[in-house]
Amino acid sequence: MIFPVLLSGGSGTRLWPLSRAGFPKQFLDLFQGQSLFQMTLLRLNCLSNASKPIVICNEAHRFIISEQASDIKVALSSIMLEPSPRNTAPAIAIAALELMRQGKADAIMLVLPSDHVITKEQAFVRACEKAKILAEKGYLVTFGIKPSRPETGFGYIKATKKLSDDGFEIDEFVEKPNSETAKTYLSSGHYFWNSGMFMFKASQILNELSNYHPKIVEACENAIAGGVSDLEFFRLDEKAFNLNPLDSIDYAVMEKTSRAAMVMLEAGWSDVGAWPSVWELQEKDQNGNAGHGDFMTRDAQNNYIHSEKRLVTLLGVEDLMVIETPDAVMVAHKDRAQDVKQLVDTLKKDERPETEAHKKIYRPWGYFDSVDHGEHFQIKRIVVKPREKLSLQLHHKRAEHWVVVAGKAKVYIGDEVKFLSENESIYIPKETKHSLENPGDINLEIIEIQTGSYLGEDDIVRLEDRYGRILKNNF
């Protein structure tokens, strides 16, 4: 049996402004009406002998993970919460230790990033079958992609010696090359893109980690030992886990071990690492333009346009990426796609909120949109899913006025409980404990008007919460 492990700790900054820290690229619907994370989960259905997957994710994304898996009716084995991102080596160690804890030392782990696209699923299955043969023999197998262009945005694997009909010995891992070096790699036929996908026994990867980086194993063992179950999640101990170095599995093990092997994957793979990758995977018009939403082009070629809230028009331009969201617009040449990360880093230094979250903020009970705001007021549209409830809370510096526009609301205010229907409203003074619940079978939608001297999300004193967020002052 194959035990899939999905790594979902990335931030996808090169797909800004759509991908943001609070809702990164793996959760975006870019192609098929499903997110990249959901596409990865559903891809596992084509494996005849795969168990329920383990997901290693950022603590802040736990409810998104749970909801997106539930939406496509995929059951997860466990959701392990990282208190901070520490790269792939600690994440893989956590998954291997979890399998060992379950008494599955010889479990064959299939480690997959949760934000890739594979268009040829049967080729993916065949590559996994070949990798499994090698993993059962004790090899640490990675999947190499035959390059189609001199790509400078990927790391490479050099593999010249056939191990068997099923794979290659790995000569070396190579960092991202410059353009001229990438051209020599392409022409040689011995270099492959490093996909970041792996297969190995749980016991084998832990043995190799213990040999080459024992501090990772020790920190992860302590993080699990000190961890706690929380609803459907497992919270790793923060202090122990944060002692892990920021190391990739390539650096920690694969570049050092004598057991590294590679299986070639020719399955229409893309890491969707930047906007040109999205453009390449989209259906295009006769001029090579592709996009999403409301846009129009004239005398324009080979552009990608993403429009969310308004009409976007392009005239007399080519090879551009134009990404429009409700609170940010980016226009860049495709040749600068890899530099979007630097742009985001600059915005972070300036403490711009557009790097962290969209105007639509997802919560375990639903979501809210920021509609308008001023110096002493803020207006939000709040949507609460059926049978869900916001935390019991109070605010020191703001009052709130709720107007129901759809559904029915059960409002807890002070020591009273009130029921509201469409077009009814209620006022909540500051310093008053309150909560909002949707007792119905359809979404509850309200308009919230906040007024006060301070309207920040940290002015929340949470008193009760069904989602385990009692100790945190966030919505």
- Residue 328 belongs to what H/E stretch? strand 328-333
**CATH code, domain with 417:** 2.60.120.10
What pLDDT, on a 0 to 100 scale, did the predictor assign at position 474? 46
Same domain, 400 and 456: yes
Tell me the DSSP string of 301-353: BS-EEEESSS-EEEES-BSEEEEEETTEEEEEEGGGGGGHHHHHHHHHHTT-G
Same domain, 39 and 85: yes
Using CA atoms, how far apart are residues 423 and 406, in angstroms rounded to an integer?
8
What pLDDT, on a 0 to 100 scale, did the predictor assign at position 125? 96
For strand 304-307 and strand 290-292, is the pairing parallel, antiparallel, or unpaired? parallel
Same domain, 253 and 148: yes
**Phi/psi of residue 401, nearest 5 degrees:** -125, 120
419 lies in which domain range?
360-464
What pLDDT, on a 0 to 100 scale, did the predictor assign at position 211? 96
Q: Per the confidence metrics, is the pTM higher than 0.75?
A: yes
Positive or negative, the Cα torsion across 383, 389, 390, 393?
positive
Q: How far apart are the first and last CA of the chain?
A: 41
Same domain, 452 and 366: yes
- Report if residue 21 sits inside a domain: yes
Same domain, 93 and 210: yes
Same domain, 216 and 323: no
**Phi/psi of residue 252, nearest 5 degrees:** -70, -35
Same domain, 241 and 116: yes
Positive or negative, the Cα torsion across 411, 413, 417, 420?
negative
Same domain, 312 and 332: yes
Same domain, 44 and 135: yes
**CATH code, domain with 86:** 3.90.550.10
Which of 218, 235, 270 delimits the end of a domain?
270
User: Based on the structure, what is the number of domains in the chain?
Assistant: 3
Residue 409: strand pairing partners = 420
- Report if residue 101 sits inside a domain: yes
Q: Mean pLDDT by 10-residue block, N- to C-terminus, for the chain (475 residues)? A: 94 92 93 91 94 94 92 95 94 97 94 96 95 95 93 90 85 91 92 95 97 96 94 94 94 94 95 94 96 96 96 98 96 94 95 90 90 90 96 94 97 95 95 96 96 88 83 47
What pLDDT, on a 0 to 100 scale, did the predictor assign at position 359? 85
Q: Are 364 and 421 in contact (CB under 8 A)?
A: no
Q: Are 422 and 369 in contact (CB under 8 A)?
A: no
Residue 415 amino acid letter: D
Same domain, 263 and 229: yes
Rounded to the nearest 10 degrees, how much is the dihedral formed by the CA atoms of 291, 295, 297, 303? -30
- Report if residue 473 sits inside a domain: no
- Report if residue 132 sits inside a domain: yes
Same domain, 264 and 283: no
List the one residue out of 97, 100, 5 whose CA is nearest residue 50.
Answer: 5
How far CA 232 is from CA of 55, 143, 225, 302, in Å, comes to: 12, 31, 18, 45
DSSP 302: S
Using CA atoms, how far apart are residues 14 and 23, in angstroms rounded to an integer?
13
Using CA atoms, how far apart are residues 448 and 54, in angstroms rounded to an integer?
38
What pLDDT, on a 0 to 100 scale, did the predictor assign at position 361? 86
Rounded to the nearest 10 degrees, how much is the dihedral formed by the CA atoms of 363, 365, 369, 373? -90
Same domain, 95 and 185: yes
Beta carbons within 10 angstroms of residue 400's beta carbon: 20
Which of 270, 296, 318 delimits the end of a domain?
270
